Amino acid sequence: MLSRRSFLATAGTLALASTAGCVDAVLGDGVEVSAAPSAVAEETAAAANYERASMESTVVEEQVEFGGRSRHFRATTWLTTYAKVVEDDSLVKEASRFVAVSTPSKSIAGQQLNPIVHLDSRELLDRFSSQLGGGGGLEDVEHLEDVAIDKWGSSVTISSYDATVRRDENAAPVTLYVGKVAHAGDVILPIGVHHQQIDDAENVYEMVRGLEHPVEP
């Protein structure tokens, strides 16, 4: 089993490997890697009226094709979730949610092994719909716009969508946000959602600008 550092160190060696035996010697039957968590700076979250709800890890396990063989890929991905609640008719309910996903970016000889990194914006929303509060998935998804945000020396495209999300047999119209940026060996996926009854776009963008990585779990 490869550690995070040894995995990176072997990438150059694999680029020179010309036989399946060389690849087998480095990868064996599979690879296990872990991301470092990402979170929003406390002052940024507080200014946007978001509170951290949870930070948890999940394991992505898939078979990937490499060196002419199917190999097991296991990646620990971190999700840090924030929520904003509002009072409506004397009831307190969640109005917005923001999730900072951190997943390891692992390439061998130019081939990215983590299947999450290959997903486009629309596929990422489907993949993480349960973290956005949807019990039955997303419906009627319509692209709105793309906004470029400077982060960690890169221009991050945040795509927004109107959609319907189902929660406990109830359908709610929402606006969704998703982006992707590489940092310190991981890929960070900022994902946001809020009811269409409110306009929280600028706060979502501020949460993206306030992302920190790596942070302690």
Predicted local confidence at residue 91, as pLDDT: 45
DSSP assignment of 60-80? EEEEEEETTEEEEEEEEEEEE
Phi, psi of 151 (to 5 degrees): -150, 130
pLDDT tier, 25 (very low <50, low <70, confident <90, very high otherwise)? very low
This prediction has a pTM of 0.84
Q: pLDDT at residue 158 above 60?
A: yes
Write out pLDDT tens, residues 103-135: 999 988 888 999 999 999 999 999 998 888 766
pLDDT tier, 16 (very low <50, low <70, confident <90, very high otherwise)? very low
Q: pLDDT at residue 22 above 60?
A: no
- Mean pLDDT (the chain) is 85
Write out pLDDT tens, residues 165-180: 877 678 889 999 999 9
Predicted local confidence at residue 23, as pLDDT: 46
Tokens of 105: 């970016």
Residue 50's Cβ-side half-sphere holds a number of Cα atoms within 13 Å equal to: 32
Please report the domains of the chain, with CATH numbers, ordered by start residue: 33-212 (3.40.1000)
Q: Name residue, tokens 């929280």.
A: 200
Q: pLDDT at residue 18 above 60?
A: no
Write out pLDDT tens, residues 175-195: 999 999 999 999 999 999 999
Average of per-residue pLDDT across 63-80: 87
Predicted local confidence at residue 135, as pLDDT: 60
CA nearest 121: which of 23, 192, 42? Answer: 192
Predicted local confidence at residue 90, as pLDDT: 46
Q: pLDDT at residue 29 above 70?
A: no
